Amino acid sequence: MILTLALLAGLVVAWLLIGAVEKFRLGLRFTQALLYVPFKLAYRISDNRITVVRKAQVPVIYVISHQSRFEPALMLSLLPDDTLHILDEVSARSPWLEPWRELGRTIAFNAEHVFVSRRLVRVLKGKGRLAVYLPDAVEPDVKTFRLFRAVTRIAMQADARIVPIFVTGARSLPVSLTPADKAPRHWFPRLSISVLEPMTIAELVARNPDQASNTNALFDRVAEARLFGTDLDRGLFLAMRDAADRVGASHTIIEDVISGALSYRKMFIGARVLGRRFEAVTASGEAVGVMLPNANGVVLSLVGLFSAGRVAAMINYTAGPASVTAAIRTAVIRTVVSSRAFVEKADLADIVAAAETGGARLLWLEDLRTSVTTLDKLAAALLWRLPLQRQDAAKPGVILFTSGSEGTPKAVVLSQKNLLANAMQAEARITISPADILLNVLPVFHSFGLTGGTILPLVTGVKLFLYPSPLHYKIIPEIARKVKPTIMFGTDTFLANYARTAKDGDFSSLRFVVAGAEAVKPETRRTYRERFQAEIIEGFGLTEAAPVVAVNTAIHGRDGTVGRLLPAIRMKLEPVEGINDAGQLWLDGPNMMMGYMTADRPGELQPLTGWHDTGDIVAVDREGFITIRGRAKRFAKIAGEMVSLGAVEMLVQSLWPEEHHAAVAVPDKRRGERIVLVTTADEASAEELRQFGKKAGAAELMVPNDIVKVEEIPVLGSGKTDYVSTRKLAIDRLGLGVAA
């Protein structure tokens, strides 16, 4: 009995001592500190940003993402005690929350109704503080979005600062408000409190003045708190391991048509075995080429390279021998990881020779596999959680090569932080969970296929099914019928071809399809909506942005646009001569590349400093939805007028929707440039196009007089139109004799 009492007394003393430490460390009242101690100890909370919360100047509104039943208790323990907490009805009545409710002021409201704003504005104008708990919704429905509008209106009327708060890990708590299949439960997950600096609505809007919506500015700021709840400095290997901890090491994470399925544990074991081999033949920080198809082997190789502190240089094996040799030399690649079976099946002997001509030697996965010993496997099985080298997310992680759709390819150097930031920016905008299955047919040498189609699922626990070629138009719908993916990535060209060969039930499991790289045609969007009940959400990106910049969502989308900017990306529009309603897009954000490597300065990182000029001409509406008018290089200057070649293609597509078209500009002695239409439409005629353009209200300058008919439009491995080859083809056919 005495021992029990002594033990209890010791616990009480320890509780009081820890409470005293927390009181002085965070500036809490002693009763707040005492009730915070159980949370701090049980969930090892990272709370160093709470000082930002407590020092925020009044009037201030704390906007908390309500993910679990714990947030109200946690915030009542940590926020200044004069804060008025607006609780949902359950939190306002729960008996277990009573001790915490006594710490501050609380009122209840029905989440189905909008706040009574006058009273709250008076509280704020009286130098007050509010804490509002908004539903944790990446894509809020209409009712939830009304709450964002209400908070925005209150903040503007009171000129209050906004402080978003996101508790990372709360979705995994036993009292989470998210269904268990979408957020696996853990009794004591580690929690981290993400807090952003206080800003007024006017200051938030001023960061991206071209997006004038006040409510969207608040919505984006809350999404940023979610984004920065992830420690972007941990790097990709540790982020993937964190995902394995959340969903379970035995959770199936990758699968292909040959090797079958692998769990996180098996993936890390295989990656460690390969990483050891990469360490033995390459130097730390060295660029190692990866020339592999979409299969489990490419994921194991990537994770192995990240673990070993090497840079993965993704070789575009569809680009042709000259481009591959140039890429090898530009990035100073001495070793290329590949597979003999793949090279033989894809008939890539000339690409292998091109890599060797550039100075690289091939490291074959088949040889590595036969060299693995039982001891290697045992060591990897025991140490799979540990990276082989110290991880530094700020250093180069991946080298990608631009598609060269308009000129000579360049090497784009992306840090692991760039890639992880972009994956988590997408996760903060699109609703995904471990309950999803993602079918990726886009090659990993393409930035869209790498970040969106591979890295995103690996760091979020979404099961990834890899298919080696996007060109198998008949097979991919059959694969989809068997795999039952809920998410698919693709380009308009690929998606349209899949739809032509698919049976009605093949894509019935899809929730949505993310499309990028080229504009989505209305008929493609309509086909997927009507036949498969799947929404195509169009996005926009560039390799230099790792790559996703903007995206529509299934709930917040606008056809004909590429959506709104992802969280934490800033943009500015520079005026373009001859274009009044759009501007040239410049970007800045945590996902923007480290810099370029070029052929004239091989192996040398030419760092990006400040804003990046995308070369895209865009228009932005009041809600922030971006419409791509075309590349700056994809405008023709005809008699001093700027004409969008993309707009010309859209006009032609409306007339001959079943065919493929490309508009290019060629030199013209009289007008400077003229537009040539390259098309697969046998029946295309300049007169019919002219009459159609007149009816559509198109300017006369937009309508091409020259038409070049071809069997196929040249395309790149990414599915984009190869405009360099197309322009050269047009010049040759027209006999202009001008070098492309």
| H or E, element range at 419 | helix 416-427
Closest Cα to residue 556, out of 139, 136, 138? 139
Distance from C-alpha of 409 to C-alpha of 220, rounded to nearest angstrom:
34
Distance from C-alpha of 403 to C-alpha of 720, rounded to nearest angstrom:
8
Residue 48 is given by DSSP the state T
3-class DSSP state of 723:
helix
**Helix runs in 428-552, H state only:** 447, 456-460, 475-483, 492-501, 522-532
What is the pTM for the complete model shown?
0.88
Mind listing the pLDDT tens digit for each residue in 348-359? 999 999 999 999
Cα→Cα distances 252→241, 246, 259, 264, Å: 14, 13, 13, 6
Instruction: Please check whether residue 605 is in contact with residue 411, taking contact to mean a CB–CB distance below 8 angstroms.
Output: no
Distance from C-alpha of 598 to C-alpha of 578, rounded to nearest angstrom:
32
Q: How much is the average pLDDT of 618-622?
A: 89
Q: Kindly indicate the confidence band of residue 204, based on its pLDDT and cuts at 50, 70 and 90.
A: very high
| H or E, element range at 129 | strand 129-135
Distance from C-alpha of 343 to C-alpha of 37, rounded to nearest angstrom:
59
**% of the chain surpassing 90 pLDDT:** 56
Mind listing the pLDDT tens digit for each residue in 422-465? 999 999 999 999 999 999 999 999 898 999 999 999 999 999 99
Sheet with 564-565, strands from edge to edge, namely 260-263, 252-256, 463-466, 437-440, 487-490, 512-515, 535-541, 548-551, 564-565
Q: Note the pLDDT of residue 247.
A: 95
Distance from C-alpha of 219 to C-alpha of 637, rounded to nearest angstrom:
40
Instruction: Please check whether residue 336 is in contact with residue 288, taking contact to mean a CB–CB distance below 8 angstroms.
Output: yes
Q: How much is the average pLDDT of 387-405?
A: 88
The one-letter amino acid code at 244 reads A
Q: How much is the average pLDDT of 92-108?
A: 89
Count of alpha carbons within 13 Å of 689, Cβ hemisphere only? 26
Distance from C-alpha of 241 to C-alpha of 388, rounded to nearest angstrom:
13
Q: Note the pLDDT of residue 114.
A: 56
Q: Note the pLDDT of residue 406.
A: 47
Distance from C-alpha of 655 to C-alpha of 521, rounded to nearest angstrom:
12
3-class DSSP state of 708:
strand
Sheet with 411-415, strands from edge to edge, namely 361-364, 335-338, 287-291, 311-314, 396-401, 411-415, 595-598, 601-607
Distance from C-alpha of 455 to C-alpha of 231, rounded to nearest angstrom:
16
Distance from C-alpha of 456 to C-alpha of 75, rounded to nearest angstrom:
31
Closest Cα to residue 108, out of 478, 154, 192, 97? 97
Q: How much is the average pLDDT of 577-606?
A: 89
**Pair of tokens at residue 637:** 């200057």
Count of C-beta atoms within a 10 Å radius of residue 655: 17
**Pair of tokens at residue 633:** 């290089």
| H or E, element range at 356 | helix 349-357
Q: Note the pLDDT of residue 75.
A: 95
**% of the chain surpassing 70 pLDDT:** 95
Closest Cα to residue 363, out of 271, 289, 427? 289
Is residue 293 reached through a cis peptide bond, with omega within 30 degrees of 0 on the bond before it? Answer: no
Highest mean pLDDT among 486-495, 642-651, 670-679: 486-495
**Helix runs in 428-491, H state only:** 447, 456-460, 475-483
3-class DSSP state of 228:
coil
Mind listing the pLDDT tens digit for each residue in 658-685? 788 888 888 877 767 788 888 888 888 8
- Whether 472 is catalytic is no
Distance from C-alpha of 380 to C-alpha of 270, rounded to nearest angstrom:
8
Indicate the angle between helix axes 492-501 and 522-532, nearest 10 degrees.
40
Q: Note the pLDDT of residue 647.
A: 76
Spatial neighbors of 368 by CB under 8 A, at least 6 apart, are 274, 277
Question: Rg of the chain over CA atoms, in angstroms?
Answer: 28
* DSSP strands (E only) in 542-594: 548-551, 564-565, 570-576, 579-588
Residue 508 or residue 695, greater confidence: 508
- Average pLDDT of the chain? 89
Q: Note the pLDDT of residue 12.
A: 84
Residue 719 or residue 575, greater confidence: 575
Spatial neighbors of 56 by CB under 8 A, at least 6 apart, are 129, 161, 163, 198
Distance from C-alpha of 431 to C-alpha of 31, rounded to nearest angstrom:
39
Rounded to 5 degrees, φ, ψ at 327 are: -65, -45
Cα→Cα distances 122→117, 126, 414, 512, Å: 9, 6, 49, 44
Please, which residues bridge with residue 338 across strands? 291, 364
3-class DSSP state of 29:
coil
List, as one string, the DSSP characters of 237-263: HHHHHHHHHHH-TTSEEEEETTTEEEE
Spot the catalytic one: 66, 446, 612, 660: 66
